[in-house]
Amino acid sequence: MKVVKFGGSSLASAEQFAKVGKIIRSDELRKYVVPSAPGKRDSKDTKVTDMLYGCYAAAEAGENFKDKLAAIKARYDEIIKGLGLDLSLESEFKTIAENFKKKAGSDYAASRGEYLNGIIMASFLGYEFVDAAEVIKFDMEGNFDAERTNELLSARLENVERAVVPGFYGSYEDGRVKTFSRGGSDITGSIVAKAVKAEVYENWTDVSGFLIADPRIIDHPKGIETITYRELRELAYMGASVLHEDAIFPVRTEGIPINIKNTNAPEDNGTWIVESTCQKSKYVITGIAGKKGFCSVNVDKAMMNSEVGYGRRVLQAFEENGISFEHVPSGIDTMTVFVHQDEFMHKEQKVVSALHRLAKPDFIDIESDLALIAVVGRGMKSTRGTAGRIFSALAHANVNVKMIDQGSSELNIIIGVANEDFETAIKAIYDIFVLVQL
């Protein structure tokens, strides 16, 4: 069986709902459906989740929110009418209005987008509606309770052949609604797939899977056919976002593959996300991703390498100031700590004084406006000269490399460059590995 999750853009209108219905009905294995809230119908539109946040903010401030809620209801009524359904959400909106007045919380408000879309989807497909608040649980600290959820969800769906479970939210043990972070419907789909031991988790969105590079930088980049969980984690961490990065954990433990598909082009193969594969990547690299806005703190100390615990003392200066580090490349007498610039800039002098107090360096140098680029690929391990090709391409493009960091797994190489060289560097790396084949 398959669990299918549809994103907001796939469910933004009655026309999109009809496409989704056709996709689900075209494969009888698609038995469990996880819908998001309606997204934007066009670039000027507003997502229903954002409308709900705005409506609840007005309610919390004691303002009249009647018109704002009516606008949200109109979005759903338009979908119901367009699908020709005999369904009314009147009583649901009455309950929502009452709970808004009682200040039920912004998590409750945001979750109603998926909840109402789930009711429409169940009615449209003739599937059973299962409220996520009954089966997806969080502890009182707000941490997702995977064990309890799997127990409840497995039992609830055991004798239900076809069901709709809204994405994005669950509840505390006391029944209060709790949401995942934005994009959390991806996580719900993964949780449902694990609970029913699905063969495949299909995640339907408005793109045909992952691309090797950001299409805002590379014109029509090639798609990724197959990617491993580990490669995806590396790319997602560096900003490649098609899937919520936490969505891979529930299915990873069960070995369930994820297939990213395009609602508007269902015939495309999309991207398969798997634990491991013997299939060779078409290119040496699987993907390139990166982020701007880093700075480096370079610590110099003669004979640093012979001082036990020196690295710990350097990092303690950052920890004391609540700053997490990204990468720590080092030499014999130098150690460089890469941090997010916006996090660091307001505390830089506190960190400098803490470094002097704890590590007693000879010299500290700070460089700002840096970007980090991750070149990721399982094929890099078995291909000689990968790093050489990267640096040759960057040199040819007149990009100065500020930092190199390669893990022992040989799955990725992280390169630091100036912010202004970010796009040029990505283009150069893409060209050498994708456009110029060995």
Per-residue pLDDT tens over the stretch 192-246: 999 999 999 999 988 888 889 988 899 999 989 999 888 888 887 776 666 776 7
130-175 residue pLDDT tens: 999 999 999 999 999 999 999 999 999 999 999 999 999 999 999 9
Tokens representing 221?
């980049």
98-116, pLDDT tens digit by residue?
Answer: 999 999 999 999 999 999 9
Q: Specify the pLDDT at position 241.
A: 67
> In 234-305, where do the E strands start and end?
258-262, 271-274, 287-300
Tokens for 115? Answer: 């909840």
Q: Which residue in this structure is represented by tokens 């497995």?
A: 154
Lookup: tokens for 181: 């972070």
pLDDT at 240: 65
**Average model confidence (pLDDT) across the chain:** 91
Phi, psi values for residue 45, rounded to 5°: -80, 170
Q: Say which amino acid occupies 334.
A: T
pLDDT of residue 14: 96
Tell me how crowded residue 192 is: count the other CB atoms within 10 A of its CB: 29
Model-level pTM?
0.83
Yes or no: say if 204 and 6 are a contact pair by the CB < 8 Å rule.
yes
Closest CA to 266 of 29, 100, 23: 23
Number of Cβ within a 10 Å radius of residue 144: 19
pLDDT at 438: 44
Q: Which domains does the chain have, with CATH numbers?
A: 2-274 (3.40.1160.10), 287-435 (3.30.2130.10)
